[in-house]
Chains A and B, each alone.
Chain A
């Protein structure tokens, strides 16, 4: 059974640029959630995708957007990057939006 994978592991961008982060869900899971974790803080919910549709969203602006593909993998897109977007971005998968979620290793984004 393959766990949740994310790419890239690290990324450096400058303010105003756009970034795409990718996530492959655990085998058999059809729900993907994205979280942002700033240094020293707990992860904060961005949004969730279930069967290719957005299924809930946290308090993040529209420049944070996502996609889920038929194989349940997912992308997180962030436009017009700001310095405060520097964080660890975590993807978690689950089955049917279940409360128990399995996290990937994260992508460390640095915005200069």
Chain B
């Protein structure tokens, strides 16, 4: 059973900033928050991972409030190629054999 809740779908126009929020009310002390992106007929691709506050890389930013019960993936100035399913996962990244537990993800559609 997935430990996260996120919107089923979102639409955005090209050039806009997109924020996808994920709820993880029962996150454990050792859990990290990880986001994956998946294009049709491809495997998921790691985007970003964080524990608290803010993380940023060349693809996205991840905002995590102090209580860590939610997180927001921010995609700046999306393009058509950002149309994909985005998955939020939580788990102990330091455990030797933690499987990734995926929910249904958020289907982002970017419109021209």
Contact = CB atoms under 8 A, between A and B. Distances in A.
A90 interface: yes
Given A99-B32, A99-B92, A101-B46, A108 B41 contact: yes
B93 A97 contact: no
A7 interface: no
A48 B46 contact: no
Contacts of B92: 99
Interface residues of B, number: 26
Contacts of A48: 97, 99
Given A42-B87, A50-B97, A55-B97, A102 B102 contact: no
Of B44, B46, B95, B105, which is in contact with the most chain A CB atoms at under 10 Å from its CB? B44
Interface string B70-112: 0000000000000000010001111111111111110000000
A103 interface: yes
Interface string A82-96: 000000101110001
A103 B101 CA distance: 14
A43 B105 CA distance: 10
A98 B91 CA distance: 11
A58 interface: yes
Contact of B103 (A42, A58, A98, A101): A42
26 contacts: A4-B43, A35-B100, A35-B102, A41-B104, A42-B87, A42-B103, A42-B105, A45-B101, A48-B97, A55-B96, A55-B97, A56-B99, A90-B43, A92-B43, A96-B96, A97-B95, A97-B98, A99-B32, A99-B94, A100-B34, A100-B46, A100-B49, A101-B46, A103-B44, A104-B43, A106-B42
The 4 closest A-B pairs by CB, nearest first: A103-B43, A42-B102, A99-B93, A45-B99
